[in-house]
């Protein structure tokens, strides 16, 4: 007669499989939620820069909203920040 191979799965094996599945699915969901957070509109600010725009000084109220520095921001640092983003290069013309 032929011997049949059997697989014995005990509680420890099931536990390890469940833990591995939780780790893999948890990591997957972290990446999904992080991606949604970066692509969803950010109320109260500019979602492209990650900075929130607080009410700025009156002297910047005539600038496009995406170019306005947050209140209390050093203009030199703001210009440096804008320089790192290609989509905000046109904003640099407002800051001599």
Q: How confident is the model at residue 17 (pLDDT cuts 50, 70, 90)?
A: very high
Identify the domain containing residue 72 by its residue range: 58-94
70: in domain: yes
71: in domain: yes
90: in domain: yes
pTM equals 0.38
Q: Which of 55-59, 80-84, 90-94 has the lowest mean pLDDT?
A: 55-59
Write down the pLDDT at residue 39. Answer: 63
**Does an H or E element contain 80, and which?**
helix 75-83
Report residue 11 as tokens: 């509680």
Angle at the Cα of 47 (from 42 to 52), degrees rounded to 5?
75
User: To the nearest whole percent, how much of the chain has pLDDT over 90?
Assistant: 15
Nearest CA to 65 out of 83, 91, 89 is that of 91
The mean pLDDT value for 13-40 works out to 85
For the chain, the domain total comes to: 1
82: in domain: yes
């Amino acid at each position: 007669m032929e011997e049949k191979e059997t697989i014995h799965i005990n509680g420890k094996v099931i536990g390890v499989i469940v833990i591995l599945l939780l780790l893999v699915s948890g990591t997957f969901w972290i990446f999904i939620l992080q991606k949604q957070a970066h692509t969803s509109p950010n109320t109260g600010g500019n979602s492209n820069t990650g900075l929130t725009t607080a009410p700025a000084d009156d002297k910047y109220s005539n600038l496009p909203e995406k170019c306005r520095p947050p209140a209390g921001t050093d203009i030199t640092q703001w210009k440096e920040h804008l320089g790192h983003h290609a989509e905000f290069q046109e904003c640099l013309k407002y800051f001599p």
